[in-house]
Amino acid sequence: MSRRLPNAIRSRTRDDSGQVLAFFAIALVVLVGMTALAIDVGYAYSVKRSLQASADAAATAGALELPDPAAAVSQAQAYGGNAGGKNRKETISDVTTTATTRCLPVAPCNPVNSVTVRESTTVKTFFARVLGFDTFKVSARATACSPCGGKPLDVMLVIDRTGSMCSTTSGAPDPLCTDLANARDGVGAFLQVMDPELDSVGLTVFPPASSSNAICDQPRSGSYDSLTSLYTLVPLSNDYLLNGQLNPSSALVQTVSCLRAYDRTSYATALERAQAELEARGNPGAEDVIVFLSDGGANYGPAYYDDSSPYRAQPCHQGIDSAGEIKAKGTTIYTIGYDIYDNGAGNCNAFDFSPERPAMTTESALRAIATSPEHAFVQPTASELKSIFTRIAVNLTGTRLVDDPDE
């Protein structure tokens, strides 16, 4: 015999079933919505990571062009994720890349030392529309500095002041000494990137001065031949800047400004004397660097050596050997080959003007003197040296991504 449930109980069961179904439907909608939101948020996060990577790359690329604001902005935009940018992703459209430059308190700033890149796009949703989210705004930001400072440097500048630095490309005298003037401008640009609180800079020249009282005089013929001649005109110092500008009272700035040119070319001893200054007065915690500029092949050697000595018979090869000993001590050498193919300057010669044996070109000698191919800068024509000296300074002081204090 079957029993029937009371009407009240049957009614409550039907009501509970309806409520469960309603709650299940609501929960299903919420679950689907959360899943959809998670999928779309996950995709948006993936887009953000991609934008961050391209912003990092763009900021770093732009910083390599500092302190030139226009060049930094142009380079940053060229490496962005925007249309036409080198880091554009086919799966991410309508990316906007903006770049700005300014000063950060990380190193000297003249006129700017950082570039900030902002990238943004709008991501359309796939499923989250059911919750009212049609799009997500996605953005990323990165800042890179250059120079960044942070590591002390001891730098010896080794500057060619031979007669060809005051000659035209045809070999005629140049009253304006254009090549030497370009070298001065390059050194000035270099110093304005350095940090006097961290970096010491000195000056070695060739030909040498006859004495400390003749630093601003034209080098004398035969100055290479005296053991007492002065190659290092300014010891390592750090007073070269004043309020971010070249300090007119600095011995380094004054000496670079008064250099005069004459005589032939001999590399090796100048490099050796620069290294001696680093060893004698350098900061034990600093990185040792030599920046070596010449506009021609070595063609002389001090007469106090025998004529068969490589200093006289193979002056370029001896320059390479002297540089090798210097590099073995941990010093980094940058070389700048300036206007090296004019006036027969493209080849190395012995002291008696005969070709060096084995034959060697100026370019190959300067590249071999440098620490690596990346440390050798060959500029075959007589043009400004600011960009090369600035690039070397930027390489030394570093380019890196930094935390943006305004972010």
Q: Are the beta carbons of 96 and 77 closer than 8 angstroms? A: no
Asked if the model's pLDDT at residue 34 lies above 80, the reply is no
Residue in 361, 252, 260, 380 with CA at minimum distance from that of residue 316: 361
Does one domain contain both 123 and 70? Answer: yes
Q: Classify residue 8: in a domain, yes or no.
A: no
Q: How confident is the model at residue 349 (pLDDT cuts 50, 70, 90)?
A: very high
93, 124, 145: which is the final residue of a domain? 145
pLDDT grade for 358, boundaries at 50, 70 and 90: very high
Name the pTM for this structure. 0.77
Q: Are residues 228 and 358 in the same domain?
A: yes
Give CA–CA dist 305/302, Å, rounded. Answer: 6
**Is the pLDDT reported for residue 29 higher than 90?**
no
In a domain, 23, yes or no: yes
> Which residue, 145, 169, 190, sits at the end of a domain?
145
**For residue 2, pLDDT beyond 90:** no
Asked if 185 and 326 sit in the same domain, the reply is yes
What's the domain range around 321?
A: 153-398
Digit-coded pLDDT (tens) for 330-340? 999 999 999 88
Same domain, yes or no, for 312 and 393? yes
Residue 129's pLDDT is: 67
Output the pLDDT for position 4: 57
Residue 76 lies in a domain: yes
Query: Could you read off the pLDDT of 278-301 as tens digits, one per residue?
Result: 999 999 999 999 999 999 899 999
Residues 117 and 230 placed together within one structural domain of the fold: no
268 and 200 fall within a common domain:
yes
Residue 131 inside a domain? The answer is: yes
Same domain, 195 and 69: no
Task: Please write down the HEC assignment for all residues of the chain.
Answer: CCCCCCHHHHHHHHHHHHHHHHHHHHHHHHHHHHHHHHHHHHHHHHHHHHHHHHHHHHHHHHHCCCCCHHHHHHHHHHCCCCCCCCCCCCCCCCCEEEEEEECCCCCCCCCCCEEEEEEEEEEECCCHHHHCCCEEEEEEEEEEECCCCCCCEEEEEEEECCHHHHECCCCCECCCCHHHHHHHHHHHHHHCCCCCCCEEEEEEEEEEECCHHHCCCCCCCCHHHCCCCEEEEEEEECCCEECCEECCCCHHHHHHHHCCCCCCCCCHHHHHHHHHHHHHHCCCCCEEEEEEEECCCCCCCCCCCCCCCHHHHCHHHHHHHHHHHHHHCCCEEEEEEECCCCCCCCECECCCCCECCCCCEHHHHHHHHCCCHHHEEEECCCCCCHHHHHHHHHHHHCCEEECCCCC
The angle subtended at Cα 320 by Cα 319 and Cα 322, nearest 5°, is 65
Q: Tell me, yes or no, whether 136 and 235 share the same domain.
A: no
Considering the chain, what is the average pLDDT of its residues? 88
Higher pLDDT, 29 or 306: 306
Q: Based on the domain organization, do 125 and 169 belong to the same domain?
A: no
Instruction: Give 310 or 42, the one with higher predicted confidence.
Output: 310
Is the pLDDT assigned to residue 37 strictly greater than 70? no
Please state, in angstroms and rounded to a whole number, the distance separating the CA atoms of residues 61 and 52.
Answer: 14
Share above pLDDT 90 across residues of the chain, in percent, rounded to a whole number: 63
Average pLDDT over residues 163-169: 88
- At which of 127, 145, 163 does a domain end? 145
Look at the chain and report how many structural domains it folds into. 2
Do 247 and 319 sit in the same domain of this protein?
yes
Taking only the tens place, the pLDDT of each residue in 384-399 is 788 899 889 988 988 8
- Do residues 115 and 162 share a domain? no
The answer on 170 and 106 residing in a single domain is no
Q: Is residue 9 part of a domain?
A: no
Q: What confidence score (pLDDT) does residue 107 get?
A: 81
